[in-house]
């Protein structure tokens, strides 16, 4: 939004206030999925203070903000906005349940392949780097772009699915798997800043993270080549890596995880229908 448009917007809001009616609802708009795994982009007055469940949200200079809901989020969330003139908007959001694909497999032999202590220590260290990158809250409104497919291929794994083996629930799958041959070009689904670029993590192999701003980030794993480095600003559609089958995989594919801080979101919902 340009400065003049912002001024005009504020003037319009002031004239509403002059009528003497609280029209706070008009000053906050939300778009996206208010549901488990959903990402929501909001727009309000520049300079407002916004919080979700008490957590302050960063605002862009033109009043945009973003939040998301984890795979198993609480049923309700509270959004609070305090406008520059001191008036407030308080609203409860009903977070829609998502039905996940649950697969039960019983009668498996009770034999498990477990990493040894050295490998476990390495996994913990490497996960720590991913967690640290997810915690960043940087400026930039790339999160509001219309996301594009990072690679074209068959969807081989969906968000939120879970397997229950011999009655024991395994960690849910919290990303989107796209089956593509090793060496397929991976393109940034939205712009951002590269926040992690590691060629060889134990579980995730070649691992790349892009920070889309305001706590929204993408992780791509099992890559065979990474063409960018930490701190690089990438444009939407830019080639950033080649897909592979590195780390612990059963076959070549790229796994795309989307986060709002530590909340796991469904990338598929941000994408257009596959062509």
**What is the smallest separation between the CB atom of 175 and Zn ion, expressed in angstroms?**
5
Q: Helix, strand or coil for residue 150?
A: coil
CA distances from 57 to 33, 36, 82, 198 (A): 18, 19, 12, 29
Query: CA angle 172-41-255, nearest 5°?
Result: 30
Cα 133 to Cα 215: distance, rounded to the nearest angstrom: 9
* Sole window of 60-68, 71-79, 177-185, 194-202 interacting with Zn ion (rule: CB under 5 A): 177-185
- Residue 251 Cβ vs Zn ion, minimum distance, rounded to whole Å: 11
Question: Judged by CB under 5 A, does residue 175 bind Zn ion?
Answer: yes
User: Which letter, b or e, does each residue of 94-122 get, where b requires 16 or more Cβ atoms within 10 Å of its Cβ?
Assistant: ebeebebeeeeeeeeeeeeeeeeeeeeee
Min separation Cβ 274 and Zn ion, Å: 17
Cα(132)–Cα(106) distance, integer angstroms = 37
Asked if 157 touches Zn ion (CB under 5 A), the answer is: yes
Per-residue binding letters, 106-145, with Zn ion (x by CB under 5 A): ----------------------------------------
- Please state the closest distance from residue 255 (CB atom) to Zn ion, in A: 3
Count of other CB atoms within 10 angstroms of residue 264: 23
* 67 vs 159, beta carbon nearer Zn ion: 159
Cβ closer to Zn ion: 32 or 175? 175
Size of the site for Zn ion (CB under 5 A): 4
Three-state DSSP state, 218: strand
Position among 27, 187, 212, 255 found at the interface with Zn ion (CB under 5 A)? 255
Q: 33, 126, 177, 266: which one contacts Zn ion (CB under 5 A)?
A: 177
Give the interface segment with Zn ion, choosing from 5-13, 14-22, 173-181, 185-193 (CB under 5 A): 173-181
252 binds Zn ion (CB under 5 A): no
Q: How far apart are CA 54 and CA 136, in angstroms?
A: 18
Q: Which is nearer to Zn ion, 212 or 255 (CB)?
A: 255
Is 7 strand, coil or helix? helix
Residues within the interface to Zn ion (CB under 5 A): 157, 175, 177, 255
């Amino acid at each position: 939004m340009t400065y003049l448009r912002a001024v005009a917007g504020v003037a319009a809001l002031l004239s509403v206030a002059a009528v003497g009616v609280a029209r706070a609802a008009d000053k906050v708009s939300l778009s996206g999925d208010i549901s488990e795994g959903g990402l929501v982009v909001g727009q309000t007055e520049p300079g407002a203070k916004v919080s979700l469940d008490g957590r302050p949200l960063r605002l862009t200079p033109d009043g945009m903000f973003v939040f998301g809901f984890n795979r198993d989020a609480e049923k309700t969330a509270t959004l609070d906005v305090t406008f520059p003139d001191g008036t407030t908007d308080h609203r409860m959001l009903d977070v829609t349940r998502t039905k996940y694909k649950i697969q039960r497999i019983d009668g498996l032999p009770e034999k498990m392949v477990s990493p040894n202590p050295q490998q476990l220590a390495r996994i913990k260290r490497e996960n720590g780097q991913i967690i640290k990158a997810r915690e960043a809250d940087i400026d930039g409104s790339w999160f509001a772009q219309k996301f594009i497919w990072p690679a074209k291929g068959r969807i081989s794994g969906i968000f939120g699915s879970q397997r229950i083996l011999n009655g024991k629930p395994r960690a849910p799958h919290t990303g989107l798997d796209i089956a593509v041959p090793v060496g397929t070009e991976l393109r940034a689904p939205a712009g951002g800043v590269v926040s992690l670029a590691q060629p060889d993590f134990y579980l995730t192999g070649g691992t790349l993270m892009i920070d889309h701003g305001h706590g929204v980030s993408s992780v791509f794993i099992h890559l065979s080549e990474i063409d960018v480095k930490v701190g690089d600003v990438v444009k939407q559609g830019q080639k950033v890596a080649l897909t592979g089958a590195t780390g612990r995989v059963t076959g070549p594919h790229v796994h795309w995880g989307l986060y709002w801080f530590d909340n796991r979101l469904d990338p598929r919902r941000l994408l257009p229908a596959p062509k």
